[in-house]
Structure 1
Amino acid sequence: GYRCLAVNLSDLAAMGADPLWFLLSLTLPDVDETWLSGFADGLFALADQAGISLVGGDVTRGPLSVSIQATGAVPPGQALRRDGARVGDRICVGGVTGAGLLGLQQWQQGMRSGAAIDHFRRPSPQLSLGQALRGRATACIDISDGVLADLGHILAASGNLGACLQKDALPRATAVLAGCSEEEQLRLQLQGGDDYLLLFTLPAQEKLPPGCYCLGAVEQQEGLRLAAPDGTITTLQASGWQHF
């Protein structure tokens, strides 16, 4: 319940919205009071935290399926969009990426506790950051498919621009990824989805918000590139989660 609402609130965060209300459609093969109690506990724990109300929806019999539609609002003309990035803008992220995919991998291996699993199970939508970026960020998206894939969406929507990321700017000195090799950390951080952190472009004159990192810059030349500390440039593919 918590995760289902969180991923929808993350979409509101990516537009700088204030959450208002949400609808829930739930199908279940049978009534399971224990499952429903746990689902509701998680759902309303986050709803209360975010200040959003459940106002309706539908519950019916069928294969297990959960669908949430969350509604928010922004002041006129202040919605964050994907299509405003400009050449020279810094590419920024609202935290350390990679824990989402690592948590999923650990869950699939039978693990049920740990920092990465906690991040996967209960991602924290960055509503306050999104609201703080109104009037400052030129483009924004939440990281559901991975940094490269979601950055690719911004660059395409902004006129088929390109980007160069700095390898030594990736914040990889983190306890969550400490057990991974450098190569695996790089893969998790650039290609891993399910992080639900905000990825945004910021003009050079704008101050980087606390807890955020600058990964590189938007360029005129199409494509994604990774610059190593020794000056080597590697071409990257905008790979990540594929929906189909």
Structure 2
Amino acid sequence: MKALADLVVSLSYPPVFSLCLLAIAAVAWMLRRRRAAAGIAGMALAWSALWSLPLASDTLRGTLEQRYAVRDTAALPPADAIVVLGGGSNYAWLDREDVDPARLRSSRLAAGARAWHAGKAPKVILSGGGVGKTTEARRMADAIGRLGVPEDALVLEEHSHDTRDNARFSTALAGEHGGRHVLLVTSALHMPRAALLFTQAGADVTPVPVPEGRPAVGLRERWLPSRRALWRSGRAFKEFAALAAAWAGAHAH
């Protein structure tokens, strides 16, 4: 099952799927099915061309990103813990002399810091595994310290390797620190799957989605193909595939 899931995820990146179609077209050509080969090759090129358009990419991503509305920190309810999932930033803002979490609108750590400063929960669980002492949770702890969250407010979850692990281990830690109502902080694109897996793990989830950058604006920016749009489309397809697998897993039991 995992091998099949990995295959589906790898095919979710549009150029990979297009290459597979081109390989099928080549076989059809060698079998003298020239018309079929031409049609399949055209589909292969059109597929990647479509998802390289920022407008198409933003529309695709919006079906996931708009599932949960971005809320002001003041509107969030009190919770037992704030859970911030790793994988959301290279923390380039650490190089700045003055860092204000209110200005980092696309940072998961900043969203977690804003919720903690607003008194929404006493603990911030940073979830991200790794090898040795360089786990993602530790890198997150160093970074969120620059945003004014003290070390004694942090709980590090350093054993997870995927979102299902994030959910299982973080929910258990939240229970150890007072309860299972969590403010779940991750990207808006990732939130539908993360919220589902945390709910399956027994958490009471309040989503805190974080937008990834800004959508394309202007005629040229929306319609000019780009590698960035193609990559963003691939991430969306990966999320759709992983969300379907999570949903299927829940209904298989």
TM range, smaller chain: under 0.3
Which structure: larger Rg?
2
- Of Structure 1 and Structure 2, the greater strand share is in 1
What TM-score do the two structures reach when normalised by structure 1?
A: 0.23
